[in-house]
C-alpha cells in the first residue's frame, strides 16, 4: 500500500517534466519561426515600424519557400507569405526570378535609349495628335511601361515578368511552368490564380459582343473573356489594367498609385508629350507614398484608399485609362 503514493508522486514528476519539455520546444519553434520571418524580411522592418498605411499580419511561413530575393532600394517588405506544403514551390524560384529581372532591366534600358532617340514630339492639334514620330513614340512608351518594375507595390515585378518575348510573351521560368504554372507577384510568395496568357493575339480581339453568324459570344480577353473592353473599347487595354491592381500580382491598392508611380518615372516627359501635361495634374495627399507601398487587400473592401478629391480622382482615372 505504501508504494501507491510513491508511484503517484513519480507519475506527477514525469508529467511535469514532460510538460516543461513541450513548453520549451514550443517556445524554441516559435522563436525559430520568428527568426525565419525576420530573415525573410531582409532586416528592413515590418508594420510595427510604421512602414504601411494599414497594419500587416504576422505572415505565414511553413519554411517550404526559397529565400527572398534582395529588396529593391529601401523598400520595406511585409513578413513572408508561404503557406505551401513541401515540394510545391521550385527551389530555383528566387534565382530564376532574379535572372528574369536582370533581363527586364536590360530591356528597360534599351527602351530608355529608344525614347532618347525619338527627338521632339510635335502635336498638330489640341487633341495631342503627333506628327512624324508619334506612332513610334507610343510604341516606345508602351515598352517602357511594360518593363517598369516600379509600377508594382514593392517595385520588384514588371508586367513583363509573366510575359517575356522569348517565351511567346508568357511565363519565362521553366521550373514554374512545369509545377505551379502560376507566377509569384510583388508580395512574396503570393502566386497568381492562373497561368499567364500569351498576349501575341490579344490586341486583335474586338470588344466582347454576341456574333449572330456564329450564334455565340466573340471577343474579349482573358481565359474567361472578363476583359470585355466595353469601357475603353479595347479588351487588350482593359486586360492590361488588371495585373497592376491584382492582390496576387503587382499588388497596387489603388489605380491612383499606378498613376503616382508613373508621375515619378524617368519617362514622364514622354508620357506627357503623348497624353498631355494634365495627365499628372493631381493633388496627391501627404500619405500617398505610405498608401502606395501597402499591398492590395490590406484595405479590405475599400477599392480607393488613396484619398483623392473628385477632380484629381477623375484625372487619375483618365490617365490610368490612357
In a domain, 14, yes or no: no
Cα–Cα dist 70/195, whole Å: 25
* C-beta of residue 242 within 8 angstroms of C-beta of residue 219: no
What is the rounded distance in angstroms from the CA atom of residue 191 to the CA atom of residue 82? Answer: 10
Measured distance CA(170)–CA(146) in Å, rounded = 13
DSSP-assigned states of every residue in 10-69: HHHHHHHHHHHHHHHHHHHHHHHHHHHHHHHTTTS--GGGT-SSS-----EE-S-SPPPP
Domain assignment of residue 106, yes or no: yes
Mean pLDDT in residue range 124-135: 78
Assign 146 to helix, strand or coil: helix
Domain membership of residue 88 (yes or no) is no
pLDDT in tens, 183-217: 999 998 999 988 888 877 778 888 999 989 989 98
Cell 499606378, located at residue:
258
- Alpha-carbon distance 78 to 296, whole Å? 12
Kindly state whether residue 53 falls inside one of the protein's structural domains.
no
Does 78 reside within a domain?
Answer: no
Tell which residue, 308, 295, 268, 233, has the closest CA to residue 78. Answer: 295
Asked if residue 105 is part of any domain, the answer here is yes
- CATH number, domain of 162, equals 1.10.760.10
pLDDT tens digits, one per residue of 137-160: 999 999 999 999 999 999 999 999
How crowded is residue 113: how many other Cβ atoms within 10 Å of its Cβ?
10
- 43 lies in a domain? no
Residue 49 within a domain: no
The beta-carbon contacts of 45-48 under 8 Å, at least 24 apart in sequence, are 45/76, 46/76, 46/77, 46/78, 46/79, 47/78
| Residue 128, SS3 per DSSP | coil
Q: At what angle do helices 134-146 and 93-116 cross, to 10 degrees?
A: 160
> pTM score, two decimals?
0.80
* Number of domains making up the chain: 1
Structural domain boundaries, residue 160: 93-321
Least Cα distance to 186 among 244, 98, 262, 249 occurs for 249
How does pLDDT run across 270-316, given as a tens digit for each residue?
Answer: 999 999 999 999 999 999 999 999 999 999 889 999 999 999 999 99
Q: Could you tell me which of 93, 89, 82 has the C-alpha nearest to residue 59?
A: 82
Q: Using the Cα atoms of residue 156, residue 114, residue 240 and residue 88 in order, give the sign of their dihedral.
A: negative
Amino acid at each position: 500500500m505504501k508504494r501507491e503514493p510513491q508511484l503517484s508522486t513519480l507519475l506527477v514528476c514525469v508529467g511535469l517534466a514532460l510538460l516543461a519539455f513541450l513548453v520549451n520546444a514550443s517556445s524554441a519553434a516559435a522563436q525559430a519561426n520568428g527568426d525565419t520571418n525576420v530573415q525573410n524580411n531582409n532586416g528592413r522592418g515590418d508594420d510595427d515600424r510604421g512602414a504601411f498605411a494599414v497594419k500587416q499580419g504576422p505572415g505565414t511561413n511553413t519554411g517550404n519557400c526559397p529565400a527572398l530575393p534582395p529588396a529593391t532600394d529601401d523598400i520595406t517588405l511585409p513578413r513572408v507569405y508561404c503557406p505551401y506544403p513541401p515540394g510545391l514551390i521550385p527551389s530555383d524560384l528566387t534565382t530564376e526570378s532574379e535572372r528574369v529581372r536582370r533581363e527586364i532591366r536590360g530591356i528597360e534600358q534599351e527602351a530608355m535609349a529608344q525614347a532618347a532617340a525619338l527627338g521632339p514630339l510635335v502635336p498638330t492639334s489640341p487633341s495631342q495628335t503627333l506628327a512624324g514620330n508619334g506612332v513610334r513614340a507610343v510604341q516606345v512608351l508602351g515598352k517602357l511601361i511594360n518593363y517598369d518594375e516600379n509600377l508594382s507595390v514593392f517595385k520588384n515585378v514588371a508586367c513583363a515578368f509573366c510575359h517575356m518575348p522569348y517565351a511567346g510573351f508568357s511565363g519565362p521560368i521553366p521550373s514554374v511552368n512545369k509545377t505551379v504554372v502560376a507566377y509569384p507577384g510583388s508580395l512574396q510568395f503570393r502566386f497568381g490564380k492562373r497561368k499567364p496568357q500569351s498576349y501575341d493575339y490579344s490586341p486583335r480581339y474586338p470588344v466582347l459582343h454576341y456574333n449572330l453568324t456564329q450564334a455565340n459570344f466573340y471577343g474579349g480577353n482573358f481565359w474567361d473573356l472578363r476583359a470585355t473592353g466595353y469601357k475603353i473599347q479595347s479588351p487588350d487595354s482593359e486586360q492590361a489594367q488588371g495585373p497592376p491592381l491584382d492582390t496576387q500580382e503587382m499588388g497596387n491598392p489603388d489605380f491612383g498609385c499606378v498613376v503616382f508611380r508613373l508621375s515619378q518615372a524617368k519617362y514622364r516627359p514622354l508620357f506627357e508629350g503623348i497624353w498631355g501635361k494634365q495627365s499628372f495634374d493631381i493633388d496627391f495627399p501627404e500619405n500617398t507614398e505610405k498608401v502606395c507601398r501597402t499591398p492590395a487587400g490590406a484595405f479590405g473592401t475599400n477599392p480607393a484608399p488613396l484619398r483623392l478629391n473628385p477632380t484629381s480622382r477623375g484625372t487619375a482615372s483618365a490617365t490610368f485609362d490612357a
